[in-house]
Amino acid sequence: MNSIHIVILAAGKGTRMRSARPKVLHPICGVALIDRVLEAASALGPETTTVVVGHEAARVRHHLGEKPQLFTVVQEPQLGTGHALLQAEPVLKDRSGTVVLLSGDVPLLTPATLQALVQAHHQAGAAATVVTATVPRPFGYGRVIRKEGEIVRIVEERDASPAEREIREINSGIYAFDLAPLFEALRGIGAANAQGEYYLPDLVGIYRRQGRIVTTWHVPNANEIRGINSRSELAEVSEMVRQGKNEELMAAGVTLVDPATTYVDSGVEVGPDTVIHPGVYLEGSTHIGSACEIHSGTRVVNSTVGDRVTLLNHSVVTDSTIGAGCSVGPFAHLRPGTVIGAEARVGNFVELKNTALGDGAKANHLAYLGDATIGERSNIGAGTITCNYDGARKHRTVVGKGAFVGSNSTLVAPVTIGDNAYVAAGSAVTQDVPADALGIGRARQENKAGWVTRRKEEVNSEK
Ligand code: UD1
Ligand code: CA
């Protein structure tokens, strides 16, 4: 077996992005460019994977983390793609096999294309195989120059003659190389071109002059090799990925009322018969069950939603879990650590944070429940507030099962309301309420008979 070594170029500044964030860390539908490339590359079962970093190297390295057989090498300064690949020599010098060179900014390559590339490369017994594509607008790409059908060299946009610029077959920036002659040949690349950079595509001309075999693999779907150099290209490619995801969801039985305005990240799963209305955002590692209804303006991030859940308009759900058959919103805010049991109700202008709401419990209007545990079937009245923060520390509020907290109560944590207990409306609860008890924490009402009449007489007599 011939081993595969992946090298991903990701050292460039990405000048045209005009961003403080390294280009390869920009996400498309929730997944960073570099992670998309790594994911496709992993299908080849590589022996090693090397990422060439440079601009904001520490940030890219931090993002990549530590993984077995994943290496990073630093290219400093960044003198071009040929110079970039040369930096991988310390990792690859005592190895053999095939190098598959990928670009950190070409995120849509499929495993099938990479497999086809490797196969074509091996069949041709080539020193280099270039992935090419034919595109309607080749502007900005390196053009493939052929003689008698064979690739002889690649010329960059800025160095191309007007006639060469007419060529629509372009270099994708993806290649397979035989490792044996590679690094010596790379040292032969010069920088006599419009950008004064060491161009990796120059290797094609060098190999041809040395009489080595260079071949091409023409990718049928040119969209796959779309490179991202600007925000505008980022948006175009994101749109393609998003539409693909929406098609996938619809094919799996999800109704999208308006796919054009439905934003679902690549890592999201949605069950069949769920209906998603326009302007919904499902992000990160979100799982939505089947037969749910998600109304307009709702955003769900890294959360798990059970079957038959209704999320009404303009609700925001982050790092939370919602049980089957619940109804949430409109205008509900479920912040991190919220866990809602089955068949529970969370109504308008209710905010939950780090709070468990038991099966069948209700908080239907205008409440803040933070750092709380609410037992099953309990009812939290309108305007209930947990005072979970004393200015320095957070404290928990515990409400038992089947309890009833009257409207406009303030529950000053730490405090416990027992099972089946009642809290009178308007109470400031500072002490525990035992199970089955009624807690009243407010001044007793007093009515002063005839007070208004006497007041009016006083005012009149002063005139
Ligand atoms: C490159 C190719 C071009 C091809 C196009 C496909 C060269 C000279 N040109 O052009 O033929 O059509 O890709 O998308 O290779 N990088 C480094 N270090 C450097 C320079 C670049 O790591 O010193 C990395 C970048 O971060 C990027 C990749 O290499 O991930 C490609 O560089 P970029 O500047 O985008 O090359 P293009 O102009 O797109
Ligand atoms: Ca590029």
The pLDDT tens digits of the residues spanning 7-29 come to 999 999 899 999 999 999 999 99
Q: Which helix (H) or strand (E) holds 28?
A: strand 27-28
To test the pocket of ligand 1, the residue of 13, 37, 103 to mutate (highest count of ligand atoms within 8 Å of its CB) is: 103
What integer pLDDT is reported at residue 103 of this predicted model? Answer: 97
Looking only at the bridges linking them, the beta strands covering 428-429 and 410-412 are parallel
Per residue in 288-311, pLDDT (tens digit) is 999 999 999 999 999 999 999 999
Tell me the backbone φ, ψ of residue 279, rounded to 5 degrees.
Answer: 70, 30
Whether residue 463 lies inside any domain: the answer is: no
Nearest CA to ligand 1 atom 31: 103
pLDDT band of 175, cuts 50, 70, 90 = very high
Q: Are residues 189 and 235 in the same domain?
A: no
Per residue in 350-398, pLDDT (tens digit) is 999 999 999 999 999 999 999 999 999 999 999 999 999 999 999 999 9
CATH label of the domain that carries residue 11 = 3.90.550.10
CATH label of the domain that carries residue 426 = 2.160.10.10
Q: Which of 225, 256, 274 is the last residue of a domain?
A: 225
**Pocket residues for ligand 1 (CB within 6 Å)?**
9-12, 52, 54, 75, 78-81, 83-84, 103-106, 141-142, 154, 156, 170-173, 199-201, 227, 229
Assess whether pLDDT exceeds 90 at residue 4: yes
Q: Are residues 98 and 132 in the same domain?
A: yes
pLDDT band of 463, cuts 50, 70, 90 = confident
The residue-averaged pLDDT of 387-411 equals 97
Q: Are residues 308 and 270 in the same domain?
A: yes
Whether residue 212 lies inside any domain: the answer is: yes
Cα of 141 to ligand 2 centre, how many Å? 8
The residues facing 451 across adjacent strands are none
Q: Are residues 188 and 332 in the same domain?
A: no
Out of 122, 287, 365, 395, pick the active-site residue. Answer: 365
Q: Which ligand is nearest to the CA of 81?
A: 1
Q: Which residue has the tokens 């068949």?
A: 343
Assess whether pLDDT exceeds 80 at residue 36: yes
Tell me the backbone φ, ψ of residue 246, rounded to 5 degrees.
Answer: -65, -40
Cα distance between the two ends of the chain: 108
Nearest CA to ligand 1 atom 33: 12
* All residues at 6 or more sequence positions from 21 whose CB lies less than 8 Å from its CB, including other chains: 56, 59
The residue-averaged pLDDT of 253-270 equals 98
Per residue in 311-360, pLDDT (tens digit) is 999 999 999 999 999 999 999 999 999 999 999 999 999 999 999 999 99
Q: Are residues 258 and 380 in the same domain?
A: yes
Whether residue 450 lies inside any domain: the answer is: no
Whether residue 340 lies inside any domain: the answer is: yes
Tokens (6 digits) for 401 = 């099962």
Q: Which of 172, 190, 225 is the last residue of a domain?
A: 225
Rounded to an integer, what distance in angstroms lies between the CA atom of residue 327 and that of residue 362? Answer: 10
Burial pattern 241-254, b for ≥16 Cβ within 10 A else e, equals bbeebbeebeeeeb
Cα of 357 to ligand 1 centre, how many Å? 52
What pTM did the predictor assign? 0.92
Q: Are residues 321 and 414 in the same domain?
A: yes
Cα of 59 to ligand 2 centre, how many Å? 20
| Residue range(s) defining the domain that contains residue 407 | 231-439
What integer pLDDT is reported at residue 2 of this predicted model? Answer: 86
Whether residue 57 lies inside any domain: the answer is: yes
Q: Are residues 194 and 319 in the same domain?
A: no
Q: Are residues 428 and 374 in the same domain?
A: yes
Rounded to an integer, what distance in angstroms lies between the CA atom of residue 145 and that of residue 445? Answer: 92
What integer pLDDT is reported at residue 1 of this predicted model? Answer: 58
Tell me the backbone φ, ψ of residue 425, rounded to 5 degrees.
Answer: -55, 145
Percent residues over pLDDT 70 in the chain: 100
Tell me the backbone φ, ψ of residue 153, rounded to 5 degrees.
Answer: -165, 175
Query: What is the dihedral sign for C-alpha 398, 400, 402, 406?
Result: negative
Residues with CB under 5 A from ligand 2 (ion): 105, 227, 229
Cα of 173 to ligand 2 centre, how many Å? 8
The residue-averaged pLDDT of 138-146 equals 96
Radius of gyration of the chain (CA): 32
Whether residue 457 lies inside any domain: the answer is: no
Looking only at the bridges linking them, the beta strands covering 169-178 and 128-134 are antiparallel
* Active site (annotated) includes residue 395: no
Q: Are residues 173 and 243 in the same domain?
A: no
Total structural domains in the chain?
2
The residue-averaged pLDDT of 214-235 equals 96
Q: How many CB atoms lie within 10 A of CB 330?
A: 16
Whether residue 203 lies inside any domain: the answer is: yes
To test the pocket of ligand 1, the residue of 53, 79, 81 to mutate (highest count of ligand atoms within 8 Å of its CB) is: 81
Whether residue 162 lies inside any domain: the answer is: yes
